[in-house]
Structure formats: C-alpha cells, structure tokens
Amino acid sequence: MPAQRQFRFECPDGDVIYTVQTSLRAKHVRLRVSPREGLVVVIPQGFDRSLVSGIVGKRLFWIRKALGKMPVVRSPEGLLPQTLFLRSIGEEWCVFFEVNKKPECCFVEKPGRILEIHSLPGGLNTQLDLLYEWVKRKAGIELLKKLDEVSKQYGFLYDKGAVRCQKTRWGSCSAKRTISLNMKLLFLPPDLVEYIMLHELCHTVYMNHSQRFWALVEQKMPDYVVYDRAMREASRYIPQFLQ
C-alpha cells in the first residue's frame, strides 16, 4: 500500500496533521481518529479535495476532543502488554514473550494465570498474532458461556453465538437469531457486557431500534440508559494492541 500524504491545518492553538483517504463505499465525508493513523478524513470518490481543509477547520472542536481521548501512540514494542486484565470475568494474566531458536511459535498457559508467547527473534508481528489468537480463543469460551447465562436469566432464546473482532460494533444479531459478539468485550466490566448481550438478545424479538425494541430493553433492564451512555467511553478498556 503506498504511503499516504499528510496534510497540515494551521491553527494558533496548534496545527492539526491529517491524511485523506478515498473510499468507494463512502457517500459522505467522515472523520475518524485512531492511535495508529491519527486523524483521517474519508471522502467519497470524485470529491473535491480542496474542500477538505475547510471541513477540518469547521470540525476542530470535535477533532481536538477525539484526539485528546485517544491513547498515546507507542512504539511497536510498546504494543506488547505485560498484563491482560479481563474485566468481564475478573481475571488478570501476566504475559511473557519468549524467543525460541526453533521455528515453533505458540502460546502456553501456565498455572497462576501466566501466558507465555513463544516466537522467533524479531517476530513482533507473530507475537501480536499469537496474542490476538489467544484473546479470541479465550473470548470464544468465556463470552459464549456468559451469553448463555444471560439469555436464560432474561428469558430469551437464540439459535447460536459467535465471537468475532468487529471494528465498529460490540455485537450484532442476524435474522436467523445468530448473535455475534466482539471479542473485545472480554476487557469490559461485567455490567457493560451484560447490557450488550441483553441488547442483542432483544433483537431476537425486534430486528430494529423501534420504540417497542427499547421498551423491551427497559422492561428487562430498567437502568439500561446508564450502561448505554457508559458504552460511549468503553474503548478506553481495550488494550493498545487491539486498538
């Protein structure tokens, strides 16, 4: 992928650096921020790029607020965590990265909640891939077990559950009542995880966000609004390597 050109919006309070990305799927201009990319302005194909600077200027308040909440970008080595706090199940794991001379890459769980990641020298990407694989496997076990408990607790039926790494959703429910959960939920507090699961279970009854849907959510969880608002800041619980 070719390097993206960076642009600078000059401002007395500090210049804003951003990149412009053209999307075939985009219908409107949108802004996003992330630890790895910084500020990215996504534009539809054929959009006049000379207008982008003006859009950045009009959205400065939102941009500075979003950048202020974003985790500090670390060096590649800083992506490797020493501990993993799985808040949803109250477990904290110590992570050790071991370098092997043999071409054998794997993760090993040891007593005392110790996780060892074995890889070849200089294998940062492999280490991250193995860590990602372990988290997804752990989430598949713990989150699906929790989903079953929550469904019984609130009196819902669903066909099957799945765990994925969704970029923009914490969960989803298909027309066939298959509930997909974001593996990142593993790092959220239990009450927020329960709310997301209940939200998706309510979609097995109403496949929309109609008034009847929200009435059902409120019936099952009267204080759901508290958790719904808290989810706006939920990304702060997610480790750097999964951002």
Residues 168-222: tens digit of each pLDDT: 889 999 999 999 999 999 999 999 999 999 999 999 999 999 999 999 999 999 9
Percent of the chain with pLDDT over 90: 58
String of DSSP letters for 138-172: HHHHHHHHHHHHHHHHHT---SEEEEE--SS-SEE
The 10 Å Cβ neighbour count of residue 44 is 14
pLDDT of residue 74: 43
Q: Residue 78 in contact with residue 56, Cβ under 8 Å?
A: no
The mean pLDDT of 229-237, rounded to a whole number, is 90
Q: How confident is the model at residue 24 (pLDDT cuts 50, 70, 90)?
A: confident
Q: How confident is the model at residue 121 (pLDDT cuts 50, 70, 90)?
A: confident
- Determine the Cα–Cα distance for residues 48 and 53; give it in Å rounded to an integer: 11
Q: Residue 200 in contact with residue 136, Cβ under 8 Å?
A: no
The mean pLDDT of 143-171, rounded to a whole number, is 94
Placement of tokens 């808290």 in the chain: 230
- For residue 220, give both structure tokens: 């099952």
pLDDT of residue 13: 66
Where does residue 24 rank: exposed (0-12), middle (13-18), buried (19+ CB within 10 A)?
exposed
Give per-residue pLDDT as tens, 78-117: 578 889 999 999 999 999 988 876 667 889 999 999 999 9
Residue 68 backbone class (left: φ over 0; alpha: ψ -120 to 50; beta: rest) = alpha
Q: What's the distance, CA 87 to chain centroid?
A: 15
Q: Residue 191 in contact with residue 197, Cβ under 8 Å?
A: no
pLDDT of residue 75: 42
Burial readout 202-228 (b: 16 or more C-beta within 10 A, e: otherwise)? bbbebeeeeeebbebbeebbeebeebb
pLDDT of residue 131: 92
Percent of the chain with pLDDT over 70: 91
Q: Does the pLDDT at position 152 exceed 90?
A: yes
pTM flag (> 0.95)? no
Placement of tokens 């992928």 in the chain: 1
- Determine the Cα–Cα distance for residues 35 and 98; give it in Å rounded to an integer: 26
Q: Does the pLDDT at position 50 exceed 50?
A: yes
Which residues are 97's β-sheet partners?
117
pLDDT of residue 35: 64
- Determine the Cα–Cα distance for residues 117 and 107; give it in Å rounded to an integer: 4
pLDDT of residue 70: 62
pLDDT of residue 78: 55
Give per-residue pLDDT as tens, 61-74: 898 888 777 654 44
The per-residue pLDDT of the chain, averaged, comes to 87
